[in-house]
Amino acid sequence: MTTTALVTGASGGIGAEVARQLAATGVTVVVSARSVDRAKATAESIDNSVQVLPVGLDVADPESVQSAAAALAEEPGRLDILINNAAAYVDWAELASTADLDAARTVMEVNLFGGWRMTNALLPLLRRSEHPRVVHVSSGAGVTMMSSSGFASGTGLRLRTRSARQLSTRSPAPRRPSSPTRRSSSTPFAPG
């Protein structure tokens, strides 16, 4: 059985390139975007083996995420790799002291809660896999605490990764000392 991966935010850029490279290795790739037409264009630009999630996926919308999870459960019916790539962008010039908090909240809804929401929704499928993985794609701000949203993004990425580890097992993960140099990009899951 081949490995199946879902790439969110795959209408261009990093998401499309990740999909192309995974497909080249024989992974069954499902691409998604807020627009099904844009996801189809990405799939067609790669090759005919790349599948398209049949529903638009807005990771900031809980109903959209649930629809995507239901569609994946139906076809292909499995998931081995979730690549949380969908992202919103911040005003890199603003300062924390003058930041537009409504705009920051919108970014956090996608960049933090979107990946977290996707992980939670797809855990049932991931737990069926022998070697499940969740990959959170983040900018440098996510790990270096740049700009007004960098702190929140970096903290959020670390919390989301820890949460995914804990959700993957029946008992809480053991606590490890925090280190500013330790970065997690992929989280293995226990099948049960």
Three-state SS string over the chain comes to CCCEEEECCCCCHHHHHHHHHHHHCCCEEEECCCCHHHHHHHHHHHCCCCEECCCCCCCCCHHHHHHHHHHHHHCCCCCCEEEECCCCCCCCCCCHHHCCHHHHHHHHHHHCHHHHHHHHHHHHHHCCCCCCEEEECCCCHHHHCCHHHHHHHHHHHHHHHHHHHHHCCCCCCCCCCCCCCCCCCEEECCCC
Q: Is 26 left (phi over 0), alpha (psi -120 to 50) or beta?
A: left
| pLDDT (average), residues 39-46 | 95
Alpha-carbon Rg for the chain, nearest whole angstrom, is 16
Amino acid identity, position 170: R
Predicted pLDDT of residue 140: 65
Between 144 and 137, name the one with better pLDDT: 137
Distance of CA 191 to the CA centre of its chain: 19
Q: What's the angle, vertex CA 44, arms to CA 38 and CA 45, rounded to 5?
A: 90
Between 101 and 150, name the one with better pLDDT: 101
CA-CA-CA-CA torsion sign (103, 105, 107, 109): negative
Q: HSE (CB half, 13 Å, CA atoms) of 138?
A: 31
> Is-cis flag, bond preceding 54, omega within 30?
no
Please report which confidence band the pLDDT of residue 87 belongs to, taking 50, 70 and 90 as the band edges.
Answer: very high
Please report which confidence band the pLDDT of residue 76 belongs to, taking 50, 70 and 90 as the band edges.
Answer: very high
Q: Assign domain 4-170 to a CATH class.
A: alpha beta
Question: Taking the complete model, does pTM exceed 0.85, yes or no?
Answer: no
Please report which confidence band the pLDDT of residue 190 belongs to, taking 50, 70 and 90 as the band edges.
Answer: very low
